[in-house]
């Protein structure tokens, strides 16, 4: 669909947060009536790009961005999202931004209601006018009609099926006057397959009316099916921009996860060096997981079957929201879970964090500040607490063992030890964890797990949000710990590169299930295919390992 | 300048103002003819009287249940202990000990129910605690009317039903702690050794408790419940223990209070008992989720100091007794400050 | 804010102020002392009849003898008085009068009205003679009566005022 | 059908409980029906306005406005001034309302701003704020009036020369609203004009809900983040809800006191918050939902209980105090109950919404029962 003048044109967009580059020189155009699929791994820069487009305050607060945006032929620099909305850009978020107790109409016209004029307006301002319900309903209806679906304008949102909520959101964007571009962020993530079908045809209908659409999705099949062109972002760069017709999910997936040749070579060399030590011995299974389901918001696990060998580093990868994070959280009892987890031949009770810890498993959570740390307490507390509570370490019995007295000195010693070992930069064992930098906080979390001397260690997103130097140190520490103590490590990460450089085998999670398990030496395209949900029509990928 | 700013930010402006205010009062005292030794002695007696009630707030703050506005439940347990002890005819030290023992039994029972309830309403504890406290006080008021107490010192003399509004403990165990090893210097200065010793002993026990494994776990629950859960801690159980402790300490606290005050106040007496204690600990520097023994000591001293000094100085200077109004403004202002400030730790 | 709405808001504010002043004017309360004492106006002594019935603003009438005073509380400036002479010549007089806004207590002289004296002389300011304060009675108002047995709390207990 | 019946009982559990309680207590109290009728009519006229003042903050998601006491203080200040100036009758009451208006607006703005600092714990903040402001109010009334603020009428002042007396008689305005349109039916005095005012304010509330700002309040009450993202000035809207509530409380307090005929300077306002809130809750309202029928039913039930419980107590065990304590227990208890139910529901709802995510192969989500009293 060629149009002479693009509606939106991004030129050389770049952005860094605190010296951390997240976007570099991204340029592409969106024409009227064109559907652009914007794909990329987590952290590839999609959401930052959209924040820039919408003028989110966080961008200007962190020093603005490079490059320029042309919307509708004019250079646009939106100061707030409202400017962007006024200019004619609509956004449909991943999470529903709807008021549950309001009707469809009220939500579609939220803060844009039709008003009856009133004499009181001059005195009390326009908000004193009453709502003109009849006009509102007809406006809502016309927006719904544009979608080509049927929605009851008077139904409450909380009584609606999920799909209708999504349509309501889109209708809300359509209902603005002069809307020219709609950005949809993962609109189908919460929909059933048939609902998603309807949504896609609705989007096609809108495009045919001349509205440009940016469609952000991890469901690559939908992208191929729906979009005119696909823009792939990776590590903040635009990698490719090509017509969707004729492309395949496999192709897109490998573009998304592919690395530059040098990086690839380095990883290959690194993994080749390790391959000899791990693959040769057929070790016994330490942990086997059967039919595991985990109810973790946003990371639901439906049916996972896995087995992990003693002493290996096992990687779990996959795109965001597919459920990889749910696996360790479920096993460690932090999220409601079911199924069976067998450690060393005996089942581990689920939904009981203590039982999991007592079976000598430990977990470094991806939510460092929320789950991993006592921000208000010192490093010594943070490191020693779990071991103290679960294994009665750092405690002195007093009165003949009637009471267990906390030994601050022992905790302090332990903290000193780990501060030295992990090079934690701090003023001393008593420093509050909340005052540490992200990397050092992560080291404290690792130290906490190490202090338990676990048989199986789950590490979730160990390098998220920390700087390069700390990343290496964390990964090296994990490897060292694995080889020195023979600890089995299960590492969950969205960074495939990282998994491949550390792990022996890597499982890829897709839609709450294990899509496949590959050795770290497997070509990167194979991982890409698994991550995008191996297209069932295409030849199945040869799976290694499994149960 | 920067360190000054940080000090103000850490310590909090209201707290600084209150401290300066108290110092000003003490400084002014000799010039306006207020008897300083007597005032200091008064302050000490009040600290001894109220200290344990302030201490009683520590466990629940530490476990993340917030400010225990429902301390009245503990107070009711204490009242039951005191009245039953008198009814049973114990006098002197035995009466006092009996009162404490009985009150602890009731405190445990009340604390049990209260703890179970608060675990079901996480996040809304403070308001619910307040009103559960209030309604319990009213239920007990009905109970005071109809419970079959017989002791003539306690029931209405003629015509009336039930217990008196105020019961003197004179002849039972009035000042039993205050006068224990009392140090009398001159006419005006009296140091209530016994009461202060008991307060110190209870503080020591609390200090010990929070150095035990379980105390450490409770602190972690208050600091970050999710962390604690991930470390295998049963959050509900820790919260429950802290509520039990708080209630039982409250029961002990009111009995120590009564021996010094000389009276048992029934009916609506316990209604607002929690508020001065809460204000005191907040003035001492505690937050909604964090309190230390230092907060308790400083808070009790500052708050009771203000209560003692304000009326005497104002009376001497302005011939006005504004102490009531100042007390209301200071204590509630402090609570308000704590509520609006500590939102970042909310978790 | 547009100048139009600024203007209208100012009007509302002024309206409220004007209304307040008007309410003050029409609502100001006065104590009227209906007086049947003899008065001397322009050298002429006017006396009240033996028995009369007086009514203010159509309220139930009250009978008065000579040299009496009754108190009537009214609000606002304009009032009517109806005097019915019971003894002697049977007649009924109805007159309107206005009380100055800031006159709190006013004496309304019945003889002056009946004697057709000029209306300015009907109403005179009443200044109360200085009264000894009754401290005992006042004390009772100052404190909520404490319960007989209750000791004065050293206030360490009740942090809040009692409900 | 039976499930609908059951739902009706669950939804109206509090109301039904109190109806039963009162049905038992009335015969025990032995109070005559006409007396009760007359009292209820009077109390409806006296209290309903105050309870209505609570509705808007609930709609704005700020819970029960314990800060309404601030408005009551403003109303009392207005009444003290008109009593001092001796403005009588309806003009006096209107003037008192006008005087209370700026004070209420200021206090409401203050209260709303402070509550915005403590989002999620508005209720406890309002509760403490009421106590705090009470201190300042006492400062003004007991120390500033007659010294800094001129008071002309010495009869209002304490014997020491400044500070307002504990009891201020409102002889000039006593019941002037209630008796403006006198109506007597079957021996019962009906405060027609007060009822008309209540009808007017009810209409105002209903109309207000239909305005844009009312819509914004409802939106902000349900989801602050979504409303903010849609461009609704959430904080300002919340402050406005509190301001209106405070202003209505001020006017309500004036109506309340004109019926009583005296102000208890230091304590008339204190219990108003609690009594109004308890009445609203007994009428079947919750922390998140309240309507005008809740108000009316609540005032009737609460005050019936208030009337009969002392006599019932006396007849049962021979102590009038029993009933007194009982009704205080009811006031506090119903608030505690409502708060517990609210938090309970919130916690279970959080769990429920998580449970819906549970995927295939998972056993059916455990049935989480909401709290039903």
Q: Cβ contacts of residue D297 below 8 Å, gap of 6+?
A: D15, D282, D283, D284
Judged by CB atoms closer than 8 Å, whether chains meet at D91 and C135 is answered as: no
Identity of the residue in D225, D230, D359 whose CB atom sits nearest the CB atom of A110: D230
* Residue B136's CATH number: 1.10.3470
Residue B161 near chain D (CB below 8 Å): yes
Beta strands C52-56 and C78-85 are: antiparallel
Reported as type and span, the H/E element at residue D234 is helix D234-260
Strand partners, A146: none
Judged by CB atoms closer than 8 Å, whether chains meet at D87 and C23 is answered as: yes
Structure tokens at C110: 């019945």
Q: What is the DSSP letter of D285?
A: -
Half-sphere exposure of D307 (CA within 13 A, CB side): 25
- DSSP string of D53-90, one letter each residue: TTHHHHHTT--S-TTHHHHHHHHHHHHHHHHHHTB-HH
pLDDT reported for residue D237: 94
Structure tokens at A176: 């603005």
What crossing angle do the helices spanning B293-317 and B323-341 adopt, rounded to 10°? 150
Least confident segment among A3-7, A45-49, A69-73, B179-183: A3-7
C133, part of any domain: no
Q: How many CB pairs under 8 A join B and C?
A: 58
Spatial CA neighbour of B96 closest among B284, B256, B246: B256
User: Chain centroid to CA B22: how far?
Assistant: 20
**D48 pLDDT more than 90:** yes
Please give the Cα distance from C57 to C61 (Å, whole number). 10
SS3 labels along A154-188: CCEHHHCCHHHHHHHHHHHHHCCCCCCEEEEECCC
Q: Are D128 and B335 in contact (CB under 8 A)?
A: yes
**D233 pLDDT more than 80:** yes
Identity of the residue in A385, A390, A405 whose CB atom sits nearest the CB atom of B211: A405
**D61 pLDDT more than 70:** yes
Please give the Cα distance from A192 to A93 (Å, whole number). 17
Among chain B residues, the shortest Cα distance to D162 is held by B320
Please classify residue B189 by burial: count the beta carbons closer than 10 Å to its beta carbon, then call 0-12 exposed, 13-18 middle and 19+ buried.
Answer: middle
- Give the tens place of pLDDT for each residue, D117-127: 988 888 889 99
Architecture of domain A260-360+454-547: 3-Layer(aba) Sandwich (3.40)
pLDDT reported for residue C18: 94
Please give the Cα distance from C108 to C39 (Å, whole number). 11
Q: Looking at chain B from residue 104 to 133, which residues have their Cβ under 8 Å from any Cβ of chain D?
A: 117, 120-124, 126-128, 130-132
Q: What is the CATH number of domain D17-23+32-352?
A: 1.10.3470
Identity of the residue in B164, B165, B273 whose CB atom sits nearest the CB atom of C157: B273
- Give the tens place of pLDDT for each residue, C12-44: 999 999 999 999 988 888 888 888 888 887 778
Structure tokens at A84: 């962007």
Best of D65, D66, D70, D121 to disrupt the B interface (most B CBs within 10 Å) is D121
User: Higher-confidence residue: A449 or B181?
Assistant: A449
Q: Cβ contacts of residue B243 below 8 Å, gap of 6+?
A: B59, B60, B63, B65, B68, B111, B114, B115, B118
The ranges assigned to domains in chain D are 17-23+32-352
Q: Cβ contacts of residue B36 below 8 Å, gap of 6+?
A: B26, B29, B30
pLDDT reported for residue B2: 66
Identity of the residue in D114, D143, D347 whose CB atom sits nearest the CB atom of B322: D143
Please classify residue A15 by burial: count the beta carbons closer than 10 Å to its beta carbon, then call 0-12 exposed, 13-18 middle and 19+ buried.
Answer: buried
Among chain C residues, the shortest Cα distance to D101 is held by C16
Half-sphere exposure of A356 (CA within 13 A, CB side): 29
Beta strands A456-460 and A361-364 are: parallel
**D372 pLDDT more than 50:** no
Best of C158, C161, C163 to disrupt the B interface (most B CBs within 10 Å) is C158
B6, part of any domain: no
pLDDT reported for residue A310: 87
Strand partners, A362: A457
- Give the tens place of pLDDT for each residue, D307-348: 888 888 888 777 777 888 888 888 888 888 888 888 887 777
Q: Are A390 and B231 in contact (CB under 8 A)?
A: yes
CA distance A114 to chain C (A): 21
Q: Which chains touch C (3 or more CB pairs under 8 A)?
A: A, B, D
Q: Where in the sequence is the domain holding B170, given as residue range(s)?
A: 22-341
Q: Which residues of C touch B170 (CB under 8 A)?
A: none
Q: Which residues of C touch D69 (CB under 8 A)?
A: none
Residue showing tokens 């200019």: A87
Q: Where are the beta strands (DSSP E) in A225-319?
A: 229-234, 237-243, 285-294, 301-309, 313-317
Residue C144 near chain B (CB below 8 Å): no
Q: How many CB pairs under 8 A join A and B?
A: 75
DSSP, collapsed to helix, strand or coil, labels residue D131 as helix
Please, what is the average pLDDT of chain C? 74
Residue B220 near chain A (CB below 8 Å): yes
Please give the Cα distance from A2 to A226 (Å, whole number). 16
SS3 labels along chain B: CHHHHHHHHHHCHHHHHHHHHHHHHHHHHHHHCCCHHHHHHHHHHHHHHHHHHHHCCHHHHHCCCCCCHHHHHHHHHHHHHHHHHHHCCCCHHHHHHHHHHHHHHHHHHHHHHHHHHHHHCCCCHHHHHHHHHHHHHHHHHHHHHHCCCCCCCCECCCCCCCECCEEECCCCCCCCCCCCCCEEECCCEEECHHHHHHHHHHHHHHHHHCCEHHHHHHHHHHHCHHHHHHCCCCHHHHHHHHHHHHHHHHHHHHHHHHHHHCEEECCCCCCCCHHHHHHHHHHCCCCCCCCCHHHHHHHHHHHHHHHHHHHHHHHHHCCCCCHHHHHHHHHHHHHHHHHHHCCCCCC
Please, what is the average pLDDT of chain A? 83
pLDDT reported for residue D315: 82
Q: Is the backbone of residue D232 left (phi > 0), alpha (psi -120 to 50) or beta?
A: beta
Q: Which residues of D touch C144 (CB under 8 A)?
A: 166
**D69 pLDDT more than 90:** yes
Judged by CB atoms closer than 8 Å, whether chains meet at C76 and D92 is answered as: no
- Cβ neighbours, 10 Å, residue D35: 10
Q: Which residues of B touch D332 (CB under 8 A)?
A: 131, 134-135, 137-138
Q: Which chains touch B (3 or more CB pairs under 8 A)?
A: A, C, D
Q: Which residues of B touch A353 (CB under 8 A)?
A: 229-232
Q: Dmax over Cα atoms in chain A, in whole Å?
A: 87
**A491 pLDDT more than 70:** yes
Q: Which chains touch A (3 or more CB pairs under 8 A)?
A: B, C, D
C112, part of any domain: yes
Half-sphere exposure of D238 (CA within 13 A, CB side): 25
Strand partners, D157: D164
Residue C5 near chain A (CB below 8 Å): yes
Judged by CB atoms closer than 8 Å, whether chains meet at D218 and A127 is answered as: no
Span A307-332, average pLDDT: 87
pLDDT reported for residue D43: 92
Residue C118 near chain B (CB below 8 Å): no
Please give the Cα distance from B237 to A347 (Å, whole number). 26
Residue C12 near chain A (CB below 8 Å): yes
Residue C162 near chain A (CB below 8 Å): no
Q: What is the DSSP letter of A114?
A: -
B235, part of any domain: yes
Q: Which residues of D touch A98 (CB under 8 A)?
A: 226
Judged by CB atoms closer than 8 Å, whether chains meet at C8 and A125 is answered as: no
Reported as type and span, the H/E element at residue D341 is helix D320-355
Judged by CB atoms closer than 8 Å, whether chains meet at C155 and B304 is answered as: no
Q: Which residues of B touch C146 (CB under 8 A)?
A: none
Judged by CB atoms closer than 8 Å, whether chains meet at D89 and C144 is answered as: no
**A262 pLDDT more than 60:** no
- Among B18-22, B157-161, C120-124, the range with the most confident prediction by mean pLDDT is B18-22
Least confident segment among A155-164, B59-68, B224-233, C12-21: A155-164
Please, what is the average pLDDT of chain D? 86
Q: Which residues of B touch C160 (CB under 8 A)?
A: 271-272, 275, 328
Identity of the residue in C27, C138, C161 whose CB atom sits nearest the CB atom of D270: C161
Judged by CB atoms closer than 8 Å, whether chains meet at B268 and C162 is answered as: yes
Q: Cβ contacts of residue A545 below 8 Å, gap of 6+?
A: A505, A507, A517, A518, A519
Judged by CB atoms closer than 8 Å, whether chains meet at C9 and A125 is answered as: no
DSSP, collapsed to helix, strand or coil, labels residue A27 as strand
pLDDT reported for residue C142: 36
Q: Which residues of D touch B137 (CB under 8 A)?
A: 332
pLDDT reported for residue A269: 59
Q: Which residues of C touch D274 (CB under 8 A)?
A: 163
Q: How many CB pairs under 8 A join C and D?
A: 77
Q: How many CB pairs under 8 A join B and D?
A: 127
User: Higher-confidence residue: A46 or A547?
Assistant: A46
Residue B234 near chain A (CB below 8 Å): yes
C161, part of any domain: no
Judged by CB atoms closer than 8 Å, whether chains meet at A370 and B226 is answered as: yes
- Give the tens place of pLDDT for each residue, B176-235: 788 787 788 777 788 888 889 999 999 999 999 998 889 999 999 998 888 999 998 999
CA distance A143 to chain B (A): 41
**CATH 3.40.50.300 matches A6-111+143-257:** yes
Judged by CB atoms closer than 8 Å, whether chains meet at C144 and D94 is answered as: no
pLDDT reported for residue A544: 39
* CA distance to A90, A106, A136, B138, per residue, from D230 (Å): 12, 12, 17, 47
Residue C144 near chain D (CB below 8 Å): yes
pLDDT reported for residue A276: 47
Q: Which residues of D touch C163 (CB under 8 A)?
A: 267, 270-271, 274, 328
Please give the Cα distance from A503 to A518 (Å, whole number). 10
B140, part of any domain: yes
Judged by CB atoms closer than 8 Å, whether chains meet at D95 and C104 is answered as: no
Number of domains in chain C: 1
CA distance B327 to chain D (A): 8
Share of chain B above pLDDT 90, in %: 33
**D253 pLDDT more than 50:** yes
Q: Where in chain A is the domain with CATH 3.40.50.300?
A: 6-111+143-257, 260-360+454-547
pLDDT reported for residue C128: 67
Q: What is the DSSP letter of A524?
A: H
DSSP, collapsed to helix, strand or coil, labels residue A3 as coil
Q: Are C157 and B273 in contact (CB under 8 A)?
A: yes
Number of domains in chain B: 1
CA distance C152 to chain B (A): 10
pLDDT reported for residue C1: 59
Judged by CB atoms closer than 8 Å, whether chains meet at D172 and C141 is answered as: no
Please give the Cα distance from D177 to D193 (Å, whole number). 6
Q: Where are the beta strands (DSSP E) in D267-366?
A: none
């Amino acid at each position: 669909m060629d149009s002479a003048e693009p509606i939106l044109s991004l030129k050389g967009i770049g952005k860094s947060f605190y010296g951390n580059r997240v976007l570099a020189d991204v340029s592409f155009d969106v024409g009227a009536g064109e559907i652009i699929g914007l794909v990329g791994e987590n952290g590839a820069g999609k959401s930052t790009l959209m924040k820039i487009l919408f003028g989110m305050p966080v961008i200007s607060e962190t020093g603005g961005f490079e490059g320029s945006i042309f919307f509708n032929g004019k250079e646009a620099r939106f100061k707030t999202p409202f400017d962007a909305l006024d200019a004619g850009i609509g956004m449909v978020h991943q999470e529903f931004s709807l008021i549950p107790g309001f009707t469809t109409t009220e939500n579609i016209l939220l803060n844009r209601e039709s008003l009856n004029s009133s004499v009181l307006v001059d005195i009390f301002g326009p908000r004193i006018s009453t709502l003109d319900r009849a006009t509102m309903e007809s406006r809502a209806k016309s927006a719904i009609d544009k979608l080509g679906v049927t929605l009851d304008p008077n139904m409450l949102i909380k009584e609606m099926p999920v799909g209708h909520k999504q349509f309501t959101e889109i209708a809300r964007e359509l209902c603005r006057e002069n809307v020219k571009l709609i950005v949809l962020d993962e609109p189908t993530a919460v929909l059933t397959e048939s609902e998603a079908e309807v949504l896609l045809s609705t989007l096609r209908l809108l495009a045919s009316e001349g509205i440009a659409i940016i469609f952000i999705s991890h469901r690559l099949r939908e992208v191929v099916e729906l979009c005119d062109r696909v823009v792939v972002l990776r590590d903040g760069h635009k990698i490719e921009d090509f017509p969707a017709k004729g492309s395949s999910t496999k192709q897109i997936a490998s573009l998304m996860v592919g690395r530059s040749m040098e990086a690839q070579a380095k990883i290959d060399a690194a993994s080749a060096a390790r391959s000899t030590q791990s693959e040769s011995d057929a070790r016994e299974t330490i942990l086997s997981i059967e039919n595991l389901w985990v109810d973790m918001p946003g990371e639901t696990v439906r049916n996972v079957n896995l087995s992990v060998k003693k002493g290996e580093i096992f990687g779990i990868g996959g795109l965001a929201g597919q459920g990889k994070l749910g696996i360790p959280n479920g096993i460690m009892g932090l999220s409601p879970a079911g199924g069976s987890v067998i450690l060393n031949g005996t089942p581990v009770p689920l939904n009981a964090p203590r039982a999991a810890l007592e079976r000598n498993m430990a977990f470094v959570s991806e939510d460092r500040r929320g789950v991993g740390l006592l921000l208000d307490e010192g490093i010594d507390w943070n490191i020693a607490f779990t071991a103290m509570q679960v294994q009665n370490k750092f405690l002195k019995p007093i009165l003949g063992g009637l009471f267990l007295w906390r030994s601050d000195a022992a905790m302090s010693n332990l903290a000193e030890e780990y501060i030295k070992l992990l090079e934690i930069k701090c003023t001393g064992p008593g420093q509050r964890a909340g005052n540490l930098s992200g990397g050092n906080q992560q080291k404290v979390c690792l130290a906490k797990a190490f202090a338990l001397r676990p048989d199986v260690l789950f590490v979730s997103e160990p390098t998220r949000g920390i700087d390069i130097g700390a990343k290496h140190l964390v990964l090296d520490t994990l490897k060292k710990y694995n080889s020195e103590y023979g600890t089995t490590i299960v590492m969950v990460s969205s960074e495939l590169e990282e998994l491949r450089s550390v792990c022996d085998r890597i499982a890829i999670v897709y839609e709450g299930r294990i899509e496949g398990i590959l050795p770290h030496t497997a070509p990167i395209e194979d991982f890409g295919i698994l991550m995008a949900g191996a297209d069932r029509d295409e030849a199945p990928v040869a799976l290694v390992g499994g149960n | 300048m920067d360190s000054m700013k940080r000090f103000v930010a850490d310590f909090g402006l209201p707290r600084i103002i209150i401290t300066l205010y108290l110092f000003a009062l003490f400084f002014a005292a000799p010039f306006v003819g207020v008897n300083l030794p007597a005032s200091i002695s008064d302050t000490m007696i009040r600290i001894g009287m109220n200290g344990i009630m302030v201490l009683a707030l520590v466990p629940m703050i530490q476990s993340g249940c917030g400010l225990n506005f429902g301390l009245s439940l503990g107070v009711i347990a204490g009242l039951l202990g005191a009245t039953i002890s008198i009814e049973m005819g114990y006098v002197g030290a035995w009466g006092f000990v009996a009162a404490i023992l009985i009150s602890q039994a009731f405190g445990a029972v009340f604390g049990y129910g209260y703890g179970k309830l608060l675990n079901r309403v996480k996040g809304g504890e403070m308001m619910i605690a307040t009103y559960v406290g209030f309604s319990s006080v009213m239920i007990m008021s009905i109970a005071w009317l109809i419970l079959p107490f017989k002791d003539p010192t306690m029931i209405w003399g003629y015509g009336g039903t039930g217990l008196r509004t105020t019961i003197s403990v004179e002849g039972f165990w009035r000042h039993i702690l205050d006068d224990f090893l009392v140090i009398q210097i001159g006419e005006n200065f009296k140091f209530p050794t016994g009461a202060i010793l008991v307060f110190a002993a209870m503080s020591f026990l609390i200090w010990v408790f929070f150095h035990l494994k379980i105390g450490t776990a409770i602190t972690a629950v208050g600091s970050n419940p999710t962390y604690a859960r991930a470390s295998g801690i049963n959050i509900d159980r820790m919260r429950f223990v802290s509520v039990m402790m708080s209630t039982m300490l409250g029961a002990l606290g009111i009995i120590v209070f009564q021996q010094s005050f000389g009276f048992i106040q029934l009916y609506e007496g316990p209604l607002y008992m929690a508020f001065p204690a809460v204000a005191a600990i907040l003035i001492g520097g505690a937050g909604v989720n964090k309190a230390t023994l230092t907060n308790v000591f400083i808070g009790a001293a500052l708050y009771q100091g203000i209560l003692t000094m304000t009326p005497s100085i104002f009376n001497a200077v302005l011939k006005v007794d504004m102490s009531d109004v100042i007390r209301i403004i200071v204590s509630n202002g402090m609570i308000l400050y704590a509520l609006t400030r500590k939102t970042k730790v909310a978790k | 804010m547009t100048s139009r709405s600024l203007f209208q808001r100012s009007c509302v504010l002024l309206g409220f102020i004007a209304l307040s002043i008007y309410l003050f004017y029409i609502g100001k309360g006065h104590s009227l002392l209906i007086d049947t004492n003899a008065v001397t106006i322009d050298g002429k002594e006017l006396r009240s009849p033996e028995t009369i019935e007086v009514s203010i603003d159509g309220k139930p009438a009250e009978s008065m003898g000579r040299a009496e005073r009754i108190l009537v509380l009214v609000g606002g400036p304009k009032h009517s008085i109806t005097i019915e002479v019971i003894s002697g010549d049977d007649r009924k007089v109805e007159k309107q009068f206005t009380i100055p806004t800031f006159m709190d207590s006013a004496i309304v002289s019945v003889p002056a009205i009946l004697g057709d004296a000029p209306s300015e002389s009907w109403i005179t300011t009443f200044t109360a003679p200085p009264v000894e304060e009754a401290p005992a009675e006042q004390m009772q108002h100052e404190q909520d009566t404490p319960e007989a047995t209750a000791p004065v709390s050293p206030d360490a207990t009740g942090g809040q005022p009692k409900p | 059908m039976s499930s609908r019946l059951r739902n009706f009982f669950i939804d109206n559990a509090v109301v039904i409980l109190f109806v039963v309680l009162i049905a038992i207590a009335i015969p025990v109290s032995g109070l005559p029906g006409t007396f009760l009728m007359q009292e209820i009519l009077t109390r409806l006229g006296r209290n309903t306005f105050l309870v209505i003042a609570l509705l808007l903050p609930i709609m704005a998601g700020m819970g029960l406005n314990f800060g309404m006491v601030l408005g009551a203080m403003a109303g009392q200040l207005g009444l003290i001034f008109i009593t001092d100036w001796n403005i009588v009758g309806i003009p006096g009451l209107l003037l008192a309302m006008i005087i209370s208006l700026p004070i209420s607006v200021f206090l409401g703005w203050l209260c709303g701003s402070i509550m915005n600092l403590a989002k999620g714990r508005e209720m406890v903040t309002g509760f403490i704020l009421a106590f705090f402001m009470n201190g300042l109010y006492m400062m003004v009334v007991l120390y500033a009036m007659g010294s800094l603020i001129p008071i002309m009428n010495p009869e209002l002042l304490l014997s020491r020369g400044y500070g307002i007396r504990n009891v201020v008689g409102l002889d000039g305005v006593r019941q002037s609203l209630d008796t403006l349109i006198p109506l007597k039916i079957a021996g019962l005095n009906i405060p027609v004009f007060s009822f008309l005012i209540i009808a007017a304010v009810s209409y105002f509330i209903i109309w207000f809900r239909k305005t844009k700002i009312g819509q914004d309040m409802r939106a902000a009450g349900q989801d602050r983040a979504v409303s903010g993202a849609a461009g609704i000035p959430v904080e300002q809207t919340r402050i406005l809800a509190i301001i209106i509530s405070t202003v209505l409380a001020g006017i309500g307090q004036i109506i309340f006191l004109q019926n009583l005929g005296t102000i208890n300077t230091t304590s008339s306002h204190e219990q108003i918050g609690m009594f109004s809130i308890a009445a609203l809750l007994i009428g079947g309202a919750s922390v998140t939902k309240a309507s005008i029928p809740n108000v009316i039913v609540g005032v009737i039930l609460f005050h019936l209980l208030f009337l009969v419980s002392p006599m019932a107590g006396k007849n049962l065990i021979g102590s009038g105090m029993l009933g007194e304590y009982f009704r205080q227990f009811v006031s506090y208890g119903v608030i505690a109950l409502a708060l517990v139910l609210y938090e309970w529901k919130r916690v279970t709802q959080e769990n429920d919404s998580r449970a819906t995510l549970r995927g295939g192969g998972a056993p059916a989500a455990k049935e989480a029962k909401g709290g039903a009293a």
